[in-house]
Structure 1
Amino acid sequence: MTTATMTSAPEVKAVPDTVTAAFEDFMQAFEAFKEVNDQRLGEIEQKLSADVVTRDKMERINRTLDEQKAALDQLVLKKQRPALGGRAEAGPEVSEHKAAFDAYIRRGDEAGLRALEAKAMSIGSGSDGGYLVPSETDSEIGRRISVVSPMRALSTVRTVSGAVLKKPFSTTGLATGWVSETAARPQTNAPVLSELSFPTMELYAMPAATQALLNDAAVDIEAWLASEVDIVFAEQEGDAFIRGDGINKPKGFLTYPTVADDSWSWGNLGTVATGATGAFAGTNPSDVLVNAIYALKAGHRQAASFMMNRKTQGEIRTFKDADGNYLWRPPQTAGQPATLMGYPLAEAEEMPDIAANALSIAIGDFRAGYLVVDRAGVRILRDPYSAKPYVLFYTTKRVGGGVQNFEAIKLVKFAAS
């Protein structure tokens, strides 16, 4: 192996200050990855095995790609977070609510919020669970979560005022038939309806602050509160939407019953096997991805996305098509997802690693397939007594979720059959 053919693995650089610089570093790492992987494939073709140095180099570059992609995602996320304070053109009602809420958070003064809720004929009060946060803070928490959690961003989200959303779903359409002009018209069969129920569960966080911090007028209390709870809410939600058991939390799509896609029936999610236990098939490993794509009906296939974790994504990054083109493609621009075989790829660390019988890859029209249910409002209860000298802020929201269309999501199973 000559020095000219050797390609050094790029070092993991410090996180760049701008999204553009991070994206450029990521693309440079991907070009180095392709060069070393092509070298590895050439060695396999000539000597039936790749050089150990080449394999190690490619693994280092693969890890570098993952780390630089994570750094890029964090910079994009930070850039997409607008400031909570200083919003212009707020109406008088909004300004009044914000002022009253600020007085409650900083000093425990409930008078302003009590007057507002009485004016609005609201049933909420300090004695039965706290006060609603201003609409700006409520919507800002939701917006940040939609960026962090891929499931919330990909799924249908419904806001309800009750505790449970019940949704009828027609599993069969109306029966029809052809008749002549004068023939009798017998009554057709009615559609079969299935009622789906999505209860909302309570998700909570309890950040603490000193009274000195609350007394500091320079501190943006709403921004502080949102930054404390948004990430932890997003992490809990993201995990529940994928693998939650449905007990005091949403039901994740991976916990529903599964069957081989050839035997699919309503109430189950269809699976497509890789053909090898705990691995991709030894020959034509990408065939299972093609089979999973075409297991979806055309309408769902057009709006489909892949979902997997970082390790699985690293495994498929080496796959090529018959023409030698990589199936995994980097984002076209910063802030866009990578693609796999032309479909967007959402990275979710809650998806399982590749293992025997693991359901490590999902593909589907998640907007049609999964429903997230939000009960309107995020509530805050101020508690200055339980943890003196700290003031606790018991912050709650109610969230539910579950599969609403069992045809719209397919899973790749790492099994022989």
Structure 2
Amino acid sequence: MFIDKIPADLETKSDDTGIEEVKGALAGLTDDVKARLDAMEAQIARPNLNKGSKDETTDEQKAFAEYLHRGDAAPEVKTLTVSSDPGAGYLAPVEMNAEFIRNLVEFSPIRQYASVRTTSAPAVRYPKRNSITNSQWEGELEESQASEPTFGQLEIPVHKLTTFVDISEELLADSGGSAEQEVRLALAEDFGQKEAIGFVSGSGVKQPEGFMSNADIAATVNGHATNLSADKLIDLLYSLPASYRNASGAAWAMNGTTLAAVRKLKDGQNNFLWQPSYQAGQPETLLGKPVVEMVDMPDIADGAFPVIYGDWSSYRILDRLNLSVLVDPYTQKRNGVVRIHGTRRVGGRILQAARFRKLKTATS
């Protein structure tokens, strides 16, 4: 202890001598205490890298000591990472982009070429003349013969296409309106695709009658089950009356697979029957007539009808109700759900089958 520095025989000495010795001892004691305090302060300020028990040394101290000794070669480096949500991953949230990734929804562009009308009735009937009068050559003073044309009617009923979508109130609120917008877009694409399929191949029962389902349309036999014949396409085109063949709305229709096969066809002089469009906004042509690609047309197969040509103004589309989207926040309120209804009322049918002709890929 520090008392050991005081002389033991201090009391036996004279006053002056004792006082001087005490002062000297105290001065030495003060210097010793000061040196020890400095050493303790330096020890406290210095990082405790190696002293203490294993339990007293933290993981951070061990890692820092390893780094000082070994640099980048330290065997264990712990850090905050984005890949770990508790380990600071929450500090780097994923960005939600406003751009949606959507699958392509394809449908035949029949509305662009057909005649479209609106109606306020559940069906429309068109008067139809089935035949003309029967005049005869007669001589002088011969009595003329009476004849009568026959009439009928053609009806196009309007059919309903409908569905609904349930969305939670939380999703509608948290999405800032984007969820409802996407549902409306999905409904529009779905209804457009479904009605286009109906216009092409619909049965006419609870849906439009497709032009490919009309049994009155005549067909030209290709002569082969899979290989298209250039000569038969020419026969098909010129089997129609000139007024129908050269109508402003007349065009070929086929899907992309069939169009690829048609583009390879050549005439006797090795010239392609298909001609590209050399002017913006003008369609491609086959035998000088426009070509419309319709994805819903059938592929080339034995007994199929992959190609049709005709005056598309003769296909009538009736719109009773445009796409109606009704947001219902009440009926499913107890479940926290908003129900979005989509409804479309439309009809379609060929008015004159004689304006069209199909190609049948078969031998007979």
Q: Is residue 358 of structure 2 the alignment partner of residue 400 of structure 1?
A: no
Residue segments in structure 2 that go unaligned for 5+ positions in a row: 1-103
Q: Is residue 314 of structure 2 the alignment partner of residue 365 of structure 1?
A: no
Q: Distance in 2 between matches of 1:324 and 1:296?
A: 26
The structure with the larger Rg is 2
Q: What letter matches 2:338 in structure 1?
A: V
2:286 counterpart residue number:
340
Q: Is residue 319 of structure 2 the alignment partner of residue 374 of structure 1?
A: yes
Give the TM-score normalised by the residue count of structure 2: 0.62
Q: Is residue 293 of structure 2 the alignment partner of residue 293 of structure 1?
A: no
Structure with the bigger percentage of helix: 1
Q: Is residue 161 of structure 2 the alignment partner of residue 203 of structure 1?
A: yes
Change (3 A) 1:223 1:184: farther
Residue segments in structure 1 that go unaligned for 5+ positions in a row: 1-77, 79-144, 258-267
Change (3 A) 1:226 1:170: farther
Equivalent runs, 1:132-281 vs 2, <5 Å: 149-176=108-135, 186-187=145-146, 189-211=147-169, 219=177, 227-257=185-215, 268-280=216-228
Change (3 A) 1:211 1:415: same
Q: Distance in 1 between matches of 2:337 and 2:266?
A: 57
Is contact 2:172–2:180 with CA below 8 Å preserved after alignment?
A: no
Q: SS of the residue aligned with 1:206?
A: strand
- Cα drift, residue 329 of structure 1: 2.3
Q: What letter matches 2:257 in structure 1?
A: K
Q: Distance in 1 between matches of 2:195 and 2:292?
A: 16
Q: Is residue 263 of structure 2 the alignment partner of residue 317 of structure 1?
A: yes
**CA deviation string 1:188-240 (max 9, x = no partner):** x2222231111111012434555467568975899656523222111101111
Q: How many residues align?
A: 257
Change (3 A) 1:220 1:335: farther
Change (3 A) 1:222 1:156: farther
Q: What letter matches 1:201 in structure 2?
A: H
**CA deviation string 1:150-180 (max 9, x = no partner):** 2222211121111011111212224445678
- Cα drift, residue 186 of structure 1: 4.8
**CA deviation string 1:35-67 (max 9, x = no partner):** xxxxxxxxxxxxxxxxxxxxxxxxxxxxxxxxx
Is contact 2:108–2:293 with CA below 8 Å preserved after alignment?
A: no
Q: Distance in 2 between matches of 1:231 and 1:150?
A: 13
Alignment root-mean-square deviation, CA: 3.1
